[in-house]
Amino acid sequence: MHNVQPKPLWKRVGKRVLHAGIPIPGVLRPVIRALYNLGVVIVESWAFVKKLLWIEPVVRSVCEHVGSGLRAECLPYMRGKGRLRFGDGVNLSGRSCFYFLSYMPELPEIQIGNNVFIGNGCTLASARRIEIGDHCLLAPFVRIHDNDGHPTDAEKRRDGQSIGPDDVAEVVIEENVWLGASCTILKGVRVGANSIVGTGSVVTSDVPPNSIVAGNPARVIRKGPVNVE
């Protein structure tokens, strides 16, 4: 049996310092709670003022239409020229990105329905049209593209050519759809009403209504009615 050598004094002292805590007397706890609650009020009040005086005016200025009840924690990143429409009660949680490929023959558009939640880090890239139906939930880092981004022909990519109309097909997300975190919806896809797309899935073909799909490429793992209140 080997003898276990004690740790050097500096390591033992350092470990105790790292794990040490400051005891809080009971008389100070109400004061600390009050300061914390005050901090929450200040942060939330500033977020409201920023939305009222900066975020919402900018969004309404650059979008073709913005309905009532917009909620936005951060100013979304918008690039390119296109039509961006928000319905009523849209909630932009964190920073989302909206891209338009404006060199297409027709001005691209993105249509967001009523009461849609868009999580942090979501990206919608439109060269023709992306439509999100009412009451949809987009978890963080969802990506929706109605185009290939680059030509599928290797020589065209090498020459730096842009995509053409044949590389574009509109995407439609019908009402009451839940898109799981980090999933990707590719061009030409229609996701049927009340469906769920699993986390990290890559959807390359249409999703039937009232179904759950998952995987890469996504496959139907359950069909049937999905309860909707």
Q: Where are the alpha helices (DSSP H) in the chain?
A: 9-19, 29-50, 56-62, 154-158
- DSSP label at 104? S
CA torsion 112→229→223→201, rounded to 10°? 40
Active site residue 145: no
The tokens for 212 are: 């759950």
Q: How many CA atoms lie within 13 A of 212 on its CB side?
A: 9
- CA 223 vs CA 39, 40, 172, 207, 210: distances in Å: 47, 44, 20, 10, 6
Q: 224 burial class (0-12, 13-18, 19+ CB within 10 angstroms)?
A: exposed
Catalytic residue, from 2, 19, 65, 150: name it: 150
Quote the CA–CA distance of 104 and 127 in Å, as a whole number: 7
**Which positions are catalytic?**
150
